[in-house]
Amino acid sequence: MDFSKRLFIVLLEEDEEYVFINPEIIETSSDLVAYEEGCLSIPGIYTDVERPSKVTVYAQDIKGKNFKVEASGILARVIQHENDHLNGKLFIDRVNEEKREVLVHQYEKKCRRSRILHGRK
């Protein structure tokens, strides 16, 4: 059997763990909220990103059961951030081109500085 699975896991606190398999964001609110984001894909780089304040997600859980979540606040933001990864996007893809160029430059500078500090060229 050959099939594709898209998934992410959200752990907000010890008792708040969510598994989203083949998630689909089916609704977003029209109101946007800016909040600082960062990512392990681009360590040490942070910027405000505007995202809808609420989302409704349809997905499967770890047992394959379908479920729907209406999320707001940090959970809504994390769902959107992680879902972006499944679609090949990073948080810097959500800011304007000028800001993205500044962030990429900061990251490149950080990487060069790190190589110099660790004796690599």
Q: Edge-to-edge, what's the strand order for the sheet holding 16-28?
A: 7-13, 16-28, 54-60, 66-72
End-to-end, the C-alpha distance of the chain in Å comes to: 47
| 8 Å CB contact between 81 and 37 | yes
Among candidate residues 82, 98, 101, 108, the one labeled active-site is 82
**31 with 53: CB under 8 angstroms?**
yes
Reply yes or no on whether 82 is catalytic.
yes
Active site (catalytic) residues: 82
